[in-house]
Each structure stands twice: as structure tokens, then as C-alpha cells.
Amino acid sequence: MNFDDTPQEAAFRETARKWIAANAPREFEQELSKSSLGRIRLAKHDMVEVGKTWQKKKFEDNWACLHWPRDYGGRGATPIERVIWQQEEGVYGKLTQPFQIGEGMCGPTVMAWGSEDAKRRYLPKLASGEEIWCQLFSEPSAGSDVAGLRTRAEKQGDNWIVNGQKIWTSGAHYSDYGLLIARTDPNVPKHKGLTMFFLEMKSPGVEVRPIKQANGMQEFNEVYFTDVVIPDSQRLGAVGEGWSVSLTTLMNERMSIGARLATGVPEMFEFCSNLMLEDGLAIDDPAVRSKLASWAVKSSGLKYTSYRAISALSKGERPGPENSIGKLVSGMMLQDIATYAMDLQGAAGVLTGSDEETVQGQFQQMLLSSPSMRIAGGTDEILRNIIAERVLGLPGDIRVDKDVPYNKIPTKGR
């Protein structure tokens, strides 16, 4: 048992480290190092533009999408090399946020289901950051049950005409392409009537509207489709095979291995170490210590769970299912920590302004943002189902809509 690199890993790390030292945009280092939840913002620069410059630089020296084949803009790197790169890229990795959906989900789907021409045309430009992709799956009435989606695509000659609405689309407003799943046959059971496409986001009839979220911010969009024309050549997989195609996308969801999930623990530890209560420092209070310790061991447990996965990759093995617990644990913890930090502030905890007493309102922001962590990318409940079914081998849910044609499934509860 040790935490050391193999000689090859150490050599790769050294190469990566040298390149990053010579090329990273240091002027943003400090701003990026500040802990933050959700979208990254830069005070004086456009995050997407800065991100594109960094991505382009990486691409030119083969450091972009490094686990992809060289022919499609990658480096042909091994999974462990990808983890090492992420570790070394450190805070600059935050600049890749606009490209993560493309690299993690859309790209792999095009790679698995696209024609050779499509792969050579789209993947290198996705890798270089020149073209940004978004993913158009969720709908207002199809969230966890995404196969229940309603957006229609109807065949007209060599084209498809799309009408409907998507929601929770990150980056739709700056994306060039979108991966779209739509219903092409409502007369068959829901999973069988879907087809996958990709389209230009600038196509006529596509309208992107930002969503004002519960925390007051705008990070996601709604996308409306009105008679949008998509050529049949932009179909991925066979007609009616969209569900299988979407599984490729979802299976490739950005591996959380090596990427540290925010837990709120370091912020909470620091806060309690400095906060004066009536009887002294908060961290000397037994009740505070007990809670803090329980959160600390969850946080360290997640860290060492990811180390176990990295070790498996290092040996060329597939990591076990342990990593599936990450978001489930960290999402709930953020919410609990925020609530307790505010409780310690007493009546002043209600204030969201940027005064010193409430540490610049960071826990208030955490409280308001944390519900999304428990929903986005699989709700806590869906994640528990996944663990129960795929890890523990328990039976799937009994599905009352399984063999029912889509257009016969009830759409209202009452």
C-alpha cells in the first residue's frame, strides 16, 4: 500500500507539470483557487472566452480530451493518465467547465454512433474548444423519467421537423451544437419510440431562454423548438433506437474520479475555528465538534474512495462501484453544513449580505444552491436506486408503463 506513482506515471506527471507551468494562464490562478459552488465566474473576463483560449492551447499540444484517439483530437492516453492530468491541471481545470458536457457526453456519443465523416468533422473542433456542445435530454415533464419525453420529431422527406421544449440545458446560450433526443413514434411503448439527433443551435426555430433559479442565479436554460429542421444525416443510431444511444451518453457521464467534489468541510472547519460563541470558540463546543467530526470522516471517506478507484485504474483494472456514492454523500452534506453554519450565526444567519460576521454570506449561498446538487445529474433517490440495483443486485421497480403505448400513458396525477 502506497501513494506513489509508477515510474511511467511519474514521467507522465512530470511532462504534464512542465507543460502546465509553461503554458497555464497564471493571471487567473488566484481567482480560480477561491472555492466556489456551481458556475465559475471571473470578475473582469468572460469565462467562456478564457476557457476557449486555454482549451485551444491544450489542443495544439495534445493535452485536450486526452483519452480520445489522436485521429479525433485526443492524445490516446490511458485512464490513469487522464486522472494524473486532472490532478496536475488543478484550478485551471475549472476553465474547462463549458466543454465538459461536450467532452464527457456528446463527444463519446458521436464517437460511438456517428459516421466516420461526422467524427472527423465534429470531434476535433469539440476537443479544441472551437465548437461547444450541449445536451438536450431533460424536459419539464421528463426529468428522472427521461424516457417519458414529449419533444416530437416527424420525418418529412430527408429531414426531420422538431417541435417541443427542453429544460435544464447548461450552456445552451453559448453552444454551437446540441445532442437532442426526441420522440419519433408515440404509438409504441415509451423507450421504443425515441431517436437521437444532433443539430446546430443557430438553426431557425431554436429559442434559448435562461431560467431564473430558486437561488436567484441563471445558470441553465430552457430551449424551445418550433418547426426546427434537422437533416436525416444528423441522426445518431437507427430510428427508434434513441434510448440505447442515450445510454452511451449517460454511461460516459464525466467520471468523478480524480475530480474533487465540494463537500463544504474545509470551509466549515475554518469557520468554526474562528467563530466566537458566548462560551468561546465554536470549535471548542462539544456539539460543534461532534458534527464537524462526522462530516470530516465523510469527506475523508470520499477522498480515499476515489484513491481506491485511481489505484484500480493505475493497475489497468476497472474501478469498482464505490465511486457511485460521491454525489449522494456530498450533496446532502453541503446542505446540512450550510444549515448548521447559519444556525451558529444565530439571528444574523438570516443575512445574505457580504459582511464579516456571516463570512461574506458563503453559507447562505451554499444553502440556497445546495438543493440543485441533490437533483442535477441524478436525484438522490435515483442514485440510491442505481446503487441498490446495480451494486447490491436488488430488483428494478415494477413499471406500470412498461408495455403501454406512449400515447396511452396518463399525463396528469389528478
Partner 1 sequence: MNFDFSDDQKQLRDQARKFLAEKCSPKAVRVVLDGKAPYDKELWKGLAEMGFLGVAIPEEFGGAGAGHLELCVIAEEMGRANAPVPFSSTVYLAAEALLIAGSDAQKKKWLPAIASGEAIGTLALFEGKGNPSPKNVKLTAANGALNGVKKPVADGAIADFAVVAARTGSSGRDSDISLFLVDLKAAGTEVKSLTNLDPTRGQAEITFKDCKAEPLGGAGEGWSILTEVLDRAAVLCAFEQVGGADRALEMGRDYALDRIAFGRQIGSFQAIKHMLADMYVSATLARSNSYYGAWALSTNAAELPEAAAAARISATQAFQHCAKNNIQVHGGMGFTWEFDCHMYYRRANAMALGLGSLTYWEDQLIDRMRKKNAA
Active-site positions read 253
Classify 168 in phi/psi space as left (phi over 0), alpha (psi -120 to 50) or beta.
left
Residues in contact with partner 1, counted by CB under 8 A, come to a total of: 50
Q: How far is the CB of 305 from partner 1 (least distance, A)?
A: 4
Which stretch of DSSP H or E encloses residue 230? strand 220-231
Any contact of residue 246 with partner 1 (CB under 8 A)? no
Residue with cell 447490491: 392
Instruction: Point out which span in 98-106, 133-141, 229-237, 297-305 binds partner 1 (CB under 8 A).
Output: 297-305
Instruction: Point out which span in 110-118, 138-146, 213-221, 307-315 binds partner 1 (CB under 8 A).
Output: 307-315
Assigned C-alpha cell, 71: 485521429
Instruction: Point out which span in 43-51, 70-78, 366-374, 394-402 binds partner 1 (CB under 8 A).
Output: 394-402
User: Residue 58 or residue 327: which is nearer to partner 1 going by CB?
Assistant: 327
**Mask for 372-391, x = binds partner 1 (CB under 8 A):** ---------x-xxx-xxx-x
Q: How far is the CB of 6 from partner 1 (least distance, A)?
A: 8
Give backbone dihedrals phi and psi of 85, rounded to 5 degrees, phi first.
Answer: -60, -45
**Mask for 50-79, x = binds partner 1 (CB under 8 A):** ------------------------------
Q: Which 3-state string (H, E, C) describes 361-414?
A: HHHHHHHHHHHHHCCCCCCHHHHHHHHHHHHCCCCCCCCCCCCCEHHHCCCCCC
378, 151, 248, 79: CA torsion to nearest 10: -60
**Beta 194-200 vs 177-183: how paired, if at all?**
antiparallel
Give backbone dihedrals phi and psi of 326, rounded to 5 degrees, phi first.
Answer: -55, -60
Instruction: Point out which span in 22-30, 32-40, 173-181, 296-304 binds partner 1 (CB under 8 A).
Output: 296-304
**Mask for 328-367, x = binds partner 1 (CB under 8 A):** xx--------------------------------------
Residue with cell 470549535: 283
List binders of partner 1 among 309-328 (CB under 8 A): 310-312, 314-315, 322, 325, 328
Count of CA atoms in the C-beta half-sphere (13 A) of 72: 22
Nearest-angstrom CA–CA distance, 369 and 217: 9
> What are the residues facing 160 on neighbouring strands?
155, 230
Rg (the chain; Cα; Å): 23
Contact residues: partner 1, CB under 8 A: 1-5, 9, 269, 273, 283, 286, 289-290, 292-294, 296-298, 300-305, 307-308, 310-312, 314-315, 322, 325, 328-329, 381, 383-385, 387-389, 391-398
